[in-house]
Chain A
């Protein structure tokens, strides 16, 4: 079985570093939706989500010199920037809220806020599964999300049991690697 690697964006890094705007456009094409979704779910409103999406790609472009081939993945880097931007904006909002409301009110509001790390991780996984392609993504969905056994799924997909197990194992490791690239 040939391993299906997750798209690391390695093909775009030389272009980005060289200042090729088309490489940024390609990165936006591939990961803009995930960046936007992280922001939308973290911040809860479209305007801020669009602002953060814009900020992420602008700051990615401006700090593209810091990209190194073979160190992490381009999407991991973009998602890490997104998580940071959302956290910054959320913190700024809280400061604003603190100014506007009493302490009691403020405590209540922060308690109700979304947990950015959880949101980001979920979107990172959803994006990775989309990018992973089938049969691996379909197998992960069946075994991990739906809780079907390896054996059931092997029969359903008409694949050898060993192949199914291998896909699940490698798929989970790929997801873990991607999550590790987007630190808190």
Chain B
């Protein structure tokens, strides 16, 4: 049997007029008939795809992918008595890998929340962002305001969004802590990079429930002492 040219099958599937003998052939042929049906389905789906505009994910998604790939294990906050969690060994240290991931992705550090809320590349994706509580960050000596910490719920995640300015490190680095209201326990939530005025840390509701509501930023040295240096620069209590 001589089959019609494939262009004619396409024309038939598109609903264009084709010669009578082609239509007759299609009714009988077990190859060409199904082929036309299959093309019709593609054409139908193509027509229905007209209304589809591709929506890029917000920048925070790539950072989250890298973070998840870099995470060595499932991280859950660990509570410590009196002595803070040592860096690099402690489970609660969520920020280092998040930070590294964000840096690797070329995403401006600290812009996570902003990026998720105001996505300039696309009009649509905005996870629900809700500020749960705030804490003014004041210096311990002169009570000068140096910024603010906000507890933010982004979808199902709870973040600590830290904004601080004018904190001199000289040598060493800045570390963000959550201190329990019993003033006996504390956990490190991560490092605030030099020159960065806003940084978001993923924390957990458990921490807040257990009373870790005092936000503290300390000056730490690159030394062998993983505990809080005692050199607190600013502090504030989340009004939860």
Contact = CB atoms under 8 A, between A and B. Distances in A.
A136 interface: no
B7 A169 contact: yes
A53 B55 contact: no
Interface in B53-111: 53-58, 60-62, 64-66, 68-69, 104-105
A59 to B, nearest CB: 10
Interface string A154-181: 0000000000011011001001100100
Interface size class of A (residues with CB under 8 A): 35 or more
Contacts of B14: 143-144
A177 B105 CA distance: 33
B65 A54 contact: yes
Contacts of B163: none
A94 interface: no
Interface string A54-79: 10011001000000000000000000
Interface in B160-211: none
Interface in A69-112: none
A116 interface: no
B143 to A, nearest CB: 39
Contacts of A24: 65
A154 to B, nearest CB: 13
Given A46-B124, A50-B61, A125-B49, A172 B156 contact: no
Nearest to B122: A33
B127 A33 contact: no
Contacts of A61: 69
Nearest to A28: B62
Interface in A1-47: 21, 24-25, 28, 32-37, 40-41, 46-47
A147 B43 CA distance: 10
Contacts of B10: 165, 168-169, 172
Interface string B44-55: 011111111111
A139 interface: no
A53 B69 CA distance: 14
B155 interface: yes
B45 A32 contact: no
B90 to A, nearest CB: 24
Contacts of B53: 37, 126
Given A50-B58, A149-B16, A175-B42, A123 B52 contact: yes
A80 B222 CA distance: 47
A176 B38 contact: yes
B11 interface: yes
Contacts of B43: 144, 172
A33 B48 contact: no
B45 A36 contact: no
Contacts of A25: 62, 105
A50 B112 CA distance: 14
A37 B47 contact: no
Interface in B6-20: 6-7, 10-11, 14-16
Contacts of B68: 54, 58
Interface of B: 6-7, 10-11, 14-16, 38-39, 42-43, 45-58, 60-62, 64-66, 68-69, 104-105, 124-128, 155-156
Interface of A: 21, 24-25, 28, 32-37, 40-41, 46-47, 49-51, 53-54, 57-58, 61, 118, 121-123, 125-127, 129-130, 140, 143-145, 147, 149-150, 165-166, 168-169, 172, 175-176, 179
The 6 lowest CB-CB distance pairs between A and B, nearest first, are A47-B155, A126-B52, A36-B57, A125-B49, A33-B56, A122-B49
Given A32-B61, A125-B49, 11 more contacts: A21-B66, A25-B105, A32-B57, A33-B56, A40-B55, A46-B124, A46-B125, A58-B68, A122-B48, A122-B49, A172-B43
